[in-house]
Amino acid sequence: MSRKLPPLNALKAFEACARAGSFVLAAAELNVTPGAVAQQIGKLEDFYGRQLFIRRNSQLLLTDVGVAVQAVSAGMMDELAQLTERLGEGALHSKLILSVLPSVGVRWLNRHLPQFLAAHPDIRVDLRLEEDPVNFLRNRIDVRLSYGEQLYPEFVSVPFRSDSVTPMCRPEFLRSGRVDPARPDSLHEEDLIHVTWRVGFSSYPDWSTWLAEQGVAWRPRHERGHTTDTSSLGIDFARAGCGIVLGQSILAEPELAAGELVTPFAHRLPLQYNYCAVYTRANERNPAVRAFVDWLAAQPHPVLAR
């Protein structure tokens, strides 16, 4: 949709006249003749179909319409002047609006993002944690870290990380004898922590599927254990000693590395989709977006084949 704008040279002449209170002073500032300024003011009055100035003796007074136009134009000119000054000083930072799934934001990106920011000190991040779907245009999102490529088919979607789930628990839980690492069927219903993503979202691998792949035909009842709809909270429950969870490797990296969580069983279930960086085609040439997506692709994590 095209925008109807006033003639910008005329608006510049008007703003100078309104500020200086004189065609002569405005002409000196703009390095043109007073006649040229008057001509530009006439163009602007023709555009709006309203008189903008009243001459009273030696004074140049604004009409009501002139006051309204001056209020907007002065702010616009001030902002442009400040932008020009900051650009000239090299102090303008690129703003990157990142929209991220909450669990990925608080358990993965927050731990890795400082590395990106250190490598790109000119970029400032606006980090937003929110569930899918998101409105890219209304919320001015530059990059969305999402699960799966199917949610935003009209945009560019770049896979950057695969993941899998495996049982995780506290070392103390394992030592208590509540579970035998050689026998998946030794698990107890009351110890299981279930993660069930909300309706309309992709399904999360459940205990029944994990057990079935190892020849155990058992469908544990959710009501006998703990349940959450957020992956990171399931890991928090297990870390707090509340039981054993089918946890995502990407979200539990620090806890597993520190020994706060252990994986009693070797069997893993891959997640159905990749984690992806999603952005609009209009952002393909955005340097900050390009830098962030390239950084994601370079992370030392396995990237699934498309």
Residues 168 and 153 in one domain: no
Residues 133 and 279 in one domain: yes
CATH code, 117: 3.40.190.10
Residues 262 and 181 in one domain: yes
Residue 57 lies in a domain: yes
Among 212, 204, 213, residue whose Cα is nearest residue 273: 204
Residues 27 and 41 in one domain: yes
Q: What is the dihedral of CA 8, 14, 20, 23, to 10 degrees?
A: 110
Residues 193 and 284 in one domain: no
* Of 34, 56, 89, the domain-final residue: 89
Residues 78 and 133 in one domain: no
Q: What is the pLDDT of residues 226-270, one digit of tens each?
A: 999 999 999 999 999 999 999 999 999 999 999 999 999 999 999
Residue 99 lies in a domain: no
Mean residue pLDDT across the chain: 89
* Of 89, 114, 149, the domain-final residue: 89
Q: Is the pTM of this model over 0.85?
A: no
pLDDT of residue 76: 85
pLDDT, greater one: 38 or 302:
38
pLDDT of residue 302: 44
Residues 156 and 280 in one domain: yes
**What range defines the domain where residue 220 resides?**
164-270
Structural domain count, the chain: 3
Residues 169 and 139 in one domain: no
Q: What is the pLDDT of residues 123-176, one digit of tens each?
A: 999 999 999 889 998 888 999 999 988 889 999 999 999 999 999 999 999 999
Residue 111 lies in a domain: yes
Residue 96 lies in a domain: no
Residues 152 and 279 in one domain: yes
